[in-house]
Amino acid sequence: MTTIHVEQTPHLAYLLRLADTALVNAHRLSEWCGHAPILEEDLALANIALDLLGQARLLYEHAGAVEGKGRSEDDFAYLRDAPQFKNFLIAELPKGDFAFTIVRQTLLSAFFYPFWQQARGSSDRTLAAIAGKAEKEVAYHLRHAGAWLVRLGDGTEESRRRTVEALETLWPYTGELFEVDAVGEAMIDAGIAPDPATIRPVFEESVDRLLAEAGLERPVAGWMQTGGLRGIHTEHLGHMLAVMQHLQRAYPGAVW
């Protein structure tokens, strides 16, 4: 099946960014299924993945309605190539070890919890409704990932070493969460999107609190990664999409 091309209005572009981040994050978490350190955590990570997949589905569905060309959530998920995905880069990095996954989920949840809280006041009524659902889900993700972060940081020598490494690797990807380009600016002006500048202090406060409890230090903010919002990705996203999209590309329209 041929790749679809989406003409992007700012509103559509913005919704696809949110949906792409949720979907890519969900897929990375789903890779733990059957591989987590303990059965209980296998279920916990799958639960978080399913919450995010649910958010992605609602956001794609809404994007389809905004575009008005009859495209479904599956069209957006399965029939676009890597440069058309506009997710935050932090979501697409390979799942790494357990510490890496936990640090990533903590950082993303610490951002998206206040994000969805604020998005409940969006002038886009559908987005506001999705935010109401997502806020409760992400509150738990933050609690779960945060509790692990504290225990890994304050655990054994090995768990601490792995957590510090993950934190050092992932921190340069947090700058992108607060990027505002022309699309973001238009959405903030229209009252559709929260201003990331107002989310940053809440993000930093909750990350700092968890790091302090874990006995870890926030890495020094230096050069930050960028590109996801423009479709410029790490080499990892293409490989991930190859796995995720293979079935629909090989057998177009296949259903259960």
Output Rg (C-alpha) for the chain, integer angstroms. Answer: 18
Our finding on whether 33 is near other proteins (CB under 8 A) is no
- Out of 95, 120, 133, 151, point to the residue binding other proteins (CB under 8 A): 151
Least distance to other proteins, CB of residue 48, Å? 9
- In whole angstroms, give the CA distance from residue 52 to residue 56: 6
Our finding on whether 40 is near other proteins (CB under 8 A) is yes
Our finding on whether 38 is near other proteins (CB under 8 A) is yes
CA-CA-CA-CA dihedral for 252, 22, 241, 50, to nearest 10:
-70
Q: How many CA atoms lie within 13 A of 67 on its CB side?
A: 23
C-alpha distance from residue 231 to each of 82, 104, 203, 234, 254 (Å):
7, 20, 25, 10, 27
- Out of 4, 129, 139, 147, point to the residue binding other proteins (CB under 8 A): 147
- Out of 3, 72, 156, 198, point to the residue binding other proteins (CB under 8 A): 156
Q: Which two tokens stand for residue 74?
A: 């599956």
Our finding on whether 34 is near other proteins (CB under 8 A) is no
Our finding on whether 41 is near other proteins (CB under 8 A) is yes
Our finding on whether 248 is near other proteins (CB under 8 A) is no
For other proteins, the binding residues (CB under 8 A) are 38-41, 43-44, 47, 143-144, 147-148, 151, 156-158
